[in-house]
Amino acid sequence: MSTLGSSKTATLFCTPALLFDCLPPSGFPSMLPSSVPYSVNELCDTDIFCPAITYVDPAFKNPRASNLSAGVERQFSQDWSLSANYVYVHSGRLRTGGFSTTQWARNVVVDRYDQFGRAIVQPSPFGGPAGIDPTIAAGGFGTSELGSFSHGNYHEVTAGVQKRFSNHYQFFANYTLAGNKDNTSSERDTDSFFGPQDPFNLNLDYGRNGLDIRDQFKAAVVANLRYGLVLSSTVQAHSGFAYPAYTEPGSAGDLNGDFVTNQFSNNDRPIVTENGKPFLLSRYPTRQPGFFETDFRISKAVRFAERYQIQLLADFFNLFNTEQLSSNPDVNGFVSNQLSGIPKAGQMLAPGIAYGHLDQIAPGGTPFAVQFAARLEF
């Protein structure tokens, strides 16, 4: 190897006794020549193969979000009030493809459309899909597209009750009913491993995404008692996050023949047949377990002298030691390509995998814990 203009050469990282000779056999490693006797559009017919590119749509645009909210509040006594609010958010121009977890390959030729309107890709005589542009690699062989054609919609309705501080205590509670849907965009859901299953019909995948939480409840109370004691508590409860269902990895899960894989999963959706009626399984057909947690605090102020005060605190986290488990979908989220019903936790729907098996602490979950503190104020 030339060392920056010097006539000396050096061999780097050579371990002939362990792996291979310092002079590799022909073809390993493969060294591309600095020049070739053919043009770029002829590469596909050589041992170099077709170039794999990431193509950015010329009409790519930055995302845009529109918000609409409306609310009403009614005070029905001196201290108590009720409120209701509605929020709608429409997000447009969201990212489509362009990342290893959301591949979007459009250099394919459609052979036909199945009963669900999904494009089935025409195979190449040499294996894999046939490409519309024969001068670059077909979909599934490293060529991918980046566009801004996805969109999402979020709806939320919240009802709450609140009591201002009086008679030594204050209180609030609210309940939220919400829905979060998109057509296969990971602009907001960065943990998604889904790209469009149909390269030309993004709306075929429109449905709830990984950020969808259907129900949420929050409440808090603060009470001043005798002898300077202050009690406070918060309660949180919500339905589980949406849980995905991935087809089997490799060629077994490639149902439309485009050879596209998002790191470890295919874009294609399994077929479910219930009561004789087939349909495509949605991206997130089930949910993680629900979440519930209560935190509690006791505090007391002790005064001495004229300017000094000690705050004694005791905090209890997850007061009732509620079990907070979840499933890692990257390990337990796989199902077979033909199903007789919506997947349920514990079912063996792919070889050696119990779908939705609980194997980790839920995000935000904590075990029961106690914390004591003292704070001097002066």
Question: How much of the chain is helix, strand and coil, in % rounded to 5?
Answer: 5, 45, 50
Asked whether residue 174 is domain-assigned, the answer is yes
For residue 16, the Cα-to-chain-centroid distance in whole angstroms is 45
| pLDDT per position as a tens digit, 220-257 | 999 999 888 999 999 999 999 999 999 987 778 899 99
The answer to the question of residue 197 being in a domain is yes
Q: At 303, is the pLDDT very low, low, confident or very high (cuts 50, 70, 90)?
A: confident
On whether residue 130 sits in a domain, the answer given is: no
| 194 within some domain | yes
Q: Let me know if residue 340 belongs to a domain.
A: yes
Global pTM? 0.83
Question: How high is the pLDDT of residue 189?
Answer: 67
Sequence length of the chain is 378
| 232 domain residue, yes or no | yes
Q: What percent of the chain has pLDDT over 90?
A: 60
Closest CA to 104 of 73, 145, 72: 145
pLDDT band at 13 (very low <50, low <70, confident <90, very high): very low
Number of domains in the chain: 1
Q: Once rounded to an integer, what is the mean pLDDT over residues 116-140?
A: 89
Enclosing domain of residue 80: 60-96+149-288+325-361
* CA quadruple 337, 342, 344, 346: dihedral, nearest 10: -20
Render the burial of 97-134: b for 16+ CB within 10 Å, e for the rest.
bbbeebbbbbbbebeeeeeeebbebbbbeeebbbbeee
Q: Comparing 86 with 367, which gets the higher pLDDT? A: 86
pLDDT band with cut points at 50, 70 and 90 for residue 11: very low
Per-residue pLDDT reduced to its tens digit, 338-357? 999 999 999 999 888 999 99
Domain assignment present for residue 273? The answer is yes
Per-residue pLDDT, averaged over 30-34, amounts to: 64
The answer to the question of residue 210 being in a domain is yes
Mean pLDDT calculated for residue range 194-214: 92
Is 355:345 a contact under the CB 8 Å cutoff?
Answer: yes
Q: What is the pLDDT of residues 54-93, one digit of tens each?
A: 889 999 999 999 999 999 999 989 899 999 999 999 999 9
